[in-house]
A and B are shown apart, each in its own frame.
Chain A
């Protein structure tokens, strides 16, 4: 009970010290809101095309303008939040589970576990990561599931590395020895003693890679390996608008790009703020 009190107090302190984190948290709430309720509150149907009103600049009727097919960009940007957010969250949860567990087992037990996990990790790391994601999605098909899978795979080595390092450091500490003396078997020590201590740092990683996951999905869509049209997704919308930049219709690519940037920026700031909360000595 006193633990949650002090966490809350510390959180309040960090937010007051660092208004940027507070701002990031507010942004995060906004994004979550848009993801959950976006489709219900947008003024226009994101898929409805209107050939009479193509390539219109921002106006009162269409806040972000319209694209080549006359679709309202504002609605599309808001609805796309849900998809990008969902991709980010699911891939991060997936890699956190896989990479986190593999990492702590590898760091704690060493031996063959470490060698096998290390081999897998090294093989993935031997590829430039985005290229590997491209390859996976190209091979398995342009579906959201595969994008999530590819993002999880390329983030696997990072999570393994962080979790492994943390588990390794704590492997021979006094409280781990004491846990053994108290009758905890090796697995209990790992799950009940080491894991709770690692969670804060892993949470920071989660927050930082959320941003990276969104960028990854957007990048894949940009080169045509991601989501398929007419699904609204930030990356594909930027791709669709990129051809029009040279002819001056900036709004088609700008607004989804800005939304993308703001979302990632928000997650990164949140991650930094979380890091301050968890371990002030590692402040970046």
Chain B
């Protein structure tokens, strides 16, 4: 098991190196001159040149790269030009917001998609099967930002059930004492139920938006995988041995069917991390997605670099967890790998 993890980690390193290089190149290619921005509108050419030297932007590209990597190794992601704050700090502050939102959305989508997919496969041809197919195809077709806007319009503007999409908490509340930085959990720990309800009500619409977005591929994959497994030889043997329906579906079919679904989760995560950016814009969510977009538009490349790097590392870590999960379930990977 340990060997499996170590092997995967080693394989991930060249990927991370590639990510660092590409991020560096992309952001150095950003339009706009950070030196001019930093110097201010009143600065003259000499002042801008001075700033440029100070920032190290006059050095050749490879040298800048080495400097960048050195800083990276020391945990320094540079400073944001627009806010002046170290990028690491800002990312650390804003990451929990995005993480809580993403996890919330994922929990919603898995808890609907997986049972739906299983039912659709078991009762093939029934109305549930057709509903699942429609949901899956429609869900994949909805632009995530459109879903968000639609939900805001219906539930906030028309029905008034949801609060205004202005962030994680209503104006009247302040953040709970920080334990996990997840407002839902922290407010429960602090036994502040009013706060909990507020945090939850703010989370619902963006969470459901993300949930709807990730529901479709998961439901689709679960259904297809269950169908394939239910038609396999070993399920036929299990049925022919007289095993009861519950054992056949759960112990025999489901565990085998989950394998491709778990690998799909990796792809779903990739989509979610991207969709996060869009949802945070619609709901004014103070996460790292909106942080990066604002920086991008302002040609402030240190936050963008930090964001892309963080996302990539997160993604690699997530894939690692998925690989390990897969290995736990499938002995062929463990013993042959």
Whether A242 is near chain B, meaning CB under 8 Å from some CB there, is yes
Residues of A126-163 at the interface with B, using a CB-CB cut-off of 8 Å, are 126-136, 138-141
Q: Is the CB of A257 within 8 A of B150?
A: yes
* Distance in Å: Cβ of A96 to nearest Cβ of chain B: 19
Please state if B297 and A131 are interface contacts (CB–CB under 8 Å): no
Indicate if the CB atoms of A126 and B16 lie closer than 8 Å.
Answer: yes
Interface assignment of B161: CB less than 8 Å from any CB of chain A:
no
Query: Cβ of A257 and Cβ of B143 under 8 Å apart?
Result: yes
Which residue of chain A has its CB nearest to the CB of B280? A223
Known contacts: A127-B312, A272-B137, A284-B223. The answer to whether A138 contacts B143 by CB under 8 A is no
Are B144 and A219 touching (Cβ within 8 A)? yes
The answer on a CB contact under 8 Å between A245 and B296 is: no
Distance A256 CA – B333 CA, assembled complex (angstroms): 47
Residue of B nearest to A269 (CB): B137
Report B-chain residues with C-beta under 8 Å of the C-beta of A225.
296
Whether B304 contacts A135 by the Cβ 8 Å rule is yes
Query: Which residues 133-148 in B have Cβ within 8 Å of A in the complex?
Result: 133, 136-138, 140-146
CA distance A138 to B308 in the complex (A): 13
Chain A residues near B223 (CB, 8 Å)?
284
Give chain B interface residues in 1-39, CB to chain A under 8 Å: 14-16, 18-19, 22-23, 25-27, 29-31
Is B18 a contact partner of A126 (Cβ separation < 8 A)? yes
Are A122's CB and B145's CB within 8 A? no
In the complex, the answer to whether B315 meets A223 with C-beta atoms within 8 Å is no
Minimum distance in angstroms from A216 CB to a CB of chain B: 9
- In contact, B15 and A123 (Cβ under 8 angstroms): yes
A127-B149 CB under 8 A given contacts A223-B277, A257-B143? no
Contacts of B26 in A (CB 8 A): 135-136, 138-139
Q: B146 touching A261 by the CB < 8 A rule? A: yes
- Any B CB within 8 A of the CB of A194: no
Interface residues of A in 209-259 (CB under 8 A from B): 211, 215, 218-219, 222-225, 235, 238-239, 241-242, 245-246, 248, 250, 253-254, 257
Instruction: Name the residue on B nearest A263 (C-beta).
Output: B141
Which of B54-62, B69-77, B266-274 makes up part of the contact surface? Answer: B266-274
Contact B315 A245 (CB under 8 A): no
Q: When the two chains form their complex, are residues A131 and B308 in contact, meaning their CB atoms are under 8 A apart?
A: yes
Q: Contact: A284 with B29, CB < 8 Å? A: no
Query: In the bound complex, how far is the Cα of B159 from the Cα of A248, in angstroms?
Result: 12
Is there an interface contact between B274 and A131, defined as CB atoms closer than 8 Å?
yes
How would you classify the secondary structure of chain A's contact residues: helix, strand, loop or mixed?
Answer: helix
For residue A265, CB closer than 8 A to chain B, the reply is yes
Shortest Cβ distance from residue B68 to the other chain A in the assembled complex, whole angstroms: 16
Kindly report which residue of chain A lies nearest to residue B307, judged by CB atoms. Answer: A131
B 232-284 contacts with A by CB, 8 A: 269-275, 277-278, 281-282
Question: Does the CB pair A245–B152 fall under 8 Å?
Answer: yes
| B220 in contact (CB, < 8 A) | yes
Taking a contact as CB atoms under 8 Å apart, the answer to whether B141 and A264 are in contact is yes
* Other-chain residue from A123, A215, A241, A245 in contact with B143 (beta carbon distance below 8 A): A215
Number of A residues near B (Cβ < 8 Å) is 47
User: Are B312 and A130 in contact (CB-based, < 8 A)?
Assistant: no
Question: Is residue A80 within 8 Å, beta carbon to beta carbon, of the partner chain?
Answer: no
B122 CB–A CB distance under 8 Å: no
Q: Which residues of A contact B23 (CB under 8 A)?
A: 135
- When the two chains form the complex, which single residue of A128, A242, A246, A248 contacts B145, counting CB atoms closer than 8 Å? A242
A82 to B23, CA, bound (A): 33
Contact B19 A123 (CB under 8 A): yes
Query: In the bound complex, do residue A246 and residue B156 qualify as a contact, i.e. CB atoms below 8 Å apart?
Result: yes
Query: For B315, what are the chain A residues with a Cβ–Cβ distance below 8 Å?
Result: 126-128
B129 to A: closest C-beta gap in Å = 11
CA distance A264 to B137 in the complex (A): 9
User: For the complex, is A180 an interface residue (Cβ under 8 Å from B)?
Assistant: no
Return chain B residues, CB-CB under 8 Å to A248: 157
Interface flags, B282-296, vs A, CB<8A=1, else 0: 100000000011001
Q: A253 with B149: in contact, given A128-B315, A219-B144, A224-B297 (CB under 8 Å)?
A: yes
Interface, chain A (partner B; CB < 8 A): 119, 122-123, 125-136, 138-141, 211, 215, 218-219, 222-225, 235, 238-239, 241-242, 245-246, 248, 250, 253-254, 257, 260-261, 264-265, 268-269, 272, 284
Given contacts A130-B277, A132-B308, A138-B30, 19 further A-B contacts (CB under 8 A): A128-B270, A128-B315, A130-B273, A131-B308, A135-B308, A138-B26, A139-B27, A219-B143, A219-B145, A223-B277, A241-B149, A245-B157, A260-B143, A264-B141, A265-B137, A265-B138, A265-B141, A284-B133, A284-B136
Task: Write the residues of chain B forming the contact surface with A, with a CB cutoff of 8 angstroms.
Answer: 14-16, 18-19, 22-23, 25-27, 29-31, 133, 136-138, 140-146, 149-150, 152-153, 156-157, 164-165, 220, 223-224, 269-275, 277-278, 281-282, 292-293, 296-297, 304, 307-308, 311-312, 315-316
The 5 closest A-B pairs by CB, nearest first: A130-B274, A128-B273, A123-B18, A265-B141, A139-B29
